[in-house]
Structure 1
Amino acid sequence: MNQKNLLNVDWSLIPAPTDDGAAEHLVGMTLPAIRLRATDDTVVTLSDLPGRTVIFAYPRTGEPGKVSLVEDWDLIPGARGCTPQACSFRDLFGELKAAGAAHVFGLSTQSNAYQTEMAARLHLPFPVLSDEMLELTHALRLPTMEIAGLTLIKRLAMVVDDARITHVFYPVFPPDRNAGDVLAWLKDNPASTA
């Protein structure tokens, strides 16, 4: 099975990921001082950002008309849905900012060149960060999966306040609802202004 449309997905045909506990350690961690290349041609050190930051991570986005990384991609729990997740954050970007997110970033282990094409194609109003060298992934011990010889981040979202992880959404399913869940949490948990 390989659903060809990257955005209109029948989630009833996609296996949901289970909570394997791989993100339980993240809340309370301080982000390390690691520099990541962004799709807006900047280098971002997440630990230097003041205020509230939302980071959503995903395995990898697909390209329209291209073959999936592996034939059974849709059958891997948590693999399918990177484009719908990114587009949901795009569509709710203004509301996320209004709810207190000073910064919003996507994050994957794909190359910056690949991400830059995707960000332009999807008209993303926020930068996507490349952790191609797995520096942040290893430093935070983010949940990962190995597919076709590649280490991919399992889908999650983090709320970070002044470099400290405050809340983690994991596992995320269906991916296109993740931004709405993050928005609801931000509204219910305003950032401290102290």
Structure 2
Amino acid sequence: MNEYRTLPPDLPVPEDDGAAAHLPGTRMPGLELRATGGGTVRLDALGAGRTVIYVYPLTARPGTDPPDGWDAIPGARGCTPEACGFRDHYQDLRAAGADEVYGLSSQDTDYQREAVERLHLPFQMLSDPAHDLARAVGLPTFEAGGRTLYKRLTLVIRDGAVEHAFYPVFPPDEHAERVLTWLRGQRA
């Protein structure tokens, strides 16, 4: 059963509500987030090159149900297909100028580690269960199933600041290609 890897054709499209318009130019805070590789990643110390951080609501494990009404929330569904897109384009993203790629959600590191292993992701996931990054730089969130979750967006960070923010992201299964096209355009 691979229904979590595909997207229904009738998903609602998220609209740009302006919640990420302030992000370009924003300095990354001195937050250390746990990573699936066992250590931590300090966001204000990512280096001088470009780092891509795609932020997503949550990945569901096979056999578990998402929150009620998940498919009706614009932009909620598609975390696994998005992760697989970044996996499949990882080497291309690196060749196009991304020094590193990370996924980030509010799920705990052990939960994320299962997804990294199951999906064979070549990059680490960062865990922010307290939504510290949302508070520090104003990332958009939403409520579902009694939980606060990140809205889907992608940050390109360069020299410690947000160079570009992709928001809203749709469709998520094609998003890594969009990031790759943007990176290639910056090198031209």
What TM-score do you get using the length of structure 1 for normalisation?
Answer: 0.93
Deviations for 1:13-48, whole angstroms, at most 9, x for unmatched residues? 110110010000000000000000001111000210
Please name the residue that 2:156 is paired with.
159
- Aligned pairs for 1:23-62 (under 5 A) are 23-50=20-47, 51-62=49-60
Asked if residue 146 in structure 1 is aligned to residue 147 in structure 2, the reply is no
In structure 2, which of residues 12, 15, 20 is the aligned counterpart of residue 15 of structure 1?
12
How far apart in 1 are the matches of 2:50 and 2:164?
Answer: 11
Asked if residue 107 in structure 1 is aligned to residue 104 in structure 2, the reply is yes
CA RMSD, 1 decimal: 1.4
Asked if residue 83 in structure 1 is aligned to residue 80 in structure 2, the reply is yes
Figure out how many residues of one structure are paired with residues of the other and give that number: 187
Shift of 1:84: 0.5
Deviations for 1:152-178, whole angstroms, at most 9, x for unmatched residues? 110001111011101111000000111
Shift of 1:190: 2.7
In structure 2, which of residues 117, 122, 142 is the aligned counterpart of residue 120 of structure 1?
117
- 1:88 partner amino acid: G
- Contact 2:70/2:144 (CA < 8 Å) preserved in 1? no
- 2:63 partner amino acid: G
What TM-score do you get using the length of structure 2 for normalisation?
Answer: 0.96
Shift of 1:4: 6.8
Determine helix, strand or coil for the equivalent of 2:179: helix
For structure 2, the residue ranges without an aligned partner over 5 or more in a row are none
Following TM superposition, where does structure 1 have runs of at least 4 consecutive aligned residues deviating by more than 6 angstroms?
A: none
Please name the residue that 1:68 is paired with.
66
Determine helix, strand or coil for the equivalent of 1:129: strand
How far apart in 1 are the matches of 2:119 and 2:159?
Answer: 29
Q: Using the aligned pairs only, state the percent identity.
A: 51
For structure 1, the residue ranges without an aligned partner over 5 or more in a row are none
Please name the residue that 1:134 is paired with.
131
Determine helix, strand or coil for the equivalent of 1:172: coil
How far apart in 1 are the matches of 2:2 and 2:120?
Answer: 20
Shift of 1:96: 0.2
How far apart in 2 are the matches of 1:35 and 1:125?
Answer: 21
